[in-house]
Amino acid sequence: MAIIDFGGVKEEVVRREEFPVSKALEVLKDETIAVIGYGVQGPAQALNMKDNGFKVIIGQSSQFKSDWDRAVADGWVPGETLFEIEEAAKRGTVIQMLVSDAAQKQIWPTVKKCLNEGDALYFSHGFSIVYKEQTGVIAPKNVDVILVAPKGSGTSVRRNFLSGAGINSSFAVDQDFTGHGRERAIALGIAVGSGYLFPTTFQGEVHSDLTGERGILMGALAGVMEAQYDVLRAGGHSPSEAFNETVEELTQSLIRLVDENGMDWMFANCSATAQRGALEWRPKFKAATLPVFKDLYESVVSGRETALVIETCSAPDYKQMLDAELKEMADSEMWQAGKATRSLRPHEEARAITADTKGVAGRGVN
């Protein structure tokens, strides 16, 4: 285990170099890992563990034909490694609850009756355990309750695994019945493809995660992009120009440099005009959005956000409502402009060559 200084605060980090897959295989050698749900996180985590040599089975309701068929297409064999949820839960010693948060409430009675003393109940989100008054997910006292939360979508978890990079994940132990809960959690974190893991709590994970995805990661990012795009269009700029200045330069150039070097480096290495303007407007944007983020965080901690998720996502017409909301976004001029812009990009091979030869990318960055 390593102790890393995060801006003056020292935190423990578990790296793959210190806890390799070989050690994880030894820790979990007698375990059967039942991945419940083959939707978003399930496929990536299950396939990564399978490729790493762990004993994995899938629990997926055959009523959801697209997910069942996807599992079959990925090589899981009905009756051998692919089962209905209850059968998989009976066979597993580690039960990975990877269906959606709203669905966990629905399947919990089925899963709970299949748990045996010493089993591990695994989550990738603290939602069900932290908000147990709303979800009804109250674990029996004779099992370990652990968490591994990859900081990325299922697509990223799988892609990073295949590239060898690994994903950044957090881990937590809410209940350590066996005395090996922490070791189990770390081993499973390595098994699903984490490059490194940092400790948290179920509460810490869900509060930060719900805030992040509603905030800067998705909700705020989409909202701020739409606002700037609309202002530029109202100012007479073309769709292509408005999109390029709002989205394309951010995603194809600048954010990659921030990822590699940090925002301070970005500010230090852009044109003087961009630098001065950004420094002047940064505190204005912070002042404008800070009250919104405070309201968002309070809504998360109070349980209002989880209540909304459970109520809305459990509605019988939710899929139709969701499709309509996503279609409205997709059909907007901004994202139609984005579709056209993406069609003009060079193929990945050409982009890789360009990136290697161009050096620091992006207009105004030198």
Q: Where in the sequence numbering do the catalytic residues fall?
A: 125
How far is residue 35's CA from residue 221's CA, in Å, rounded to a whole number? 32
If phi > 0 it is left, if psi is from -120 to 50 it is alpha, else beta; for residue 86 that is alpha
Residue type, 213: E
Give 191's contacts (C-beta < 8 A, 6+ positions apart).
21, 24, 28, 33, 48, 49, 52, 54
Handedness of CA 329, 65, 134, 179 (dihedral sign): negative
> Residue 301, Cα to own-chain centre: how many angstroms?
19
Dig out the tokens for 117 from the structure: 């003393």
Dig out the tokens for 115 from the structure: 């748990």
In the beta sheet, which residues pair with residue 365?
Answer: 270
In the beta sheet, which residues pair with residue 352?
Answer: none
How far is residue 79's CA from residue 144's CA, in Å, rounded to a whole number? 27
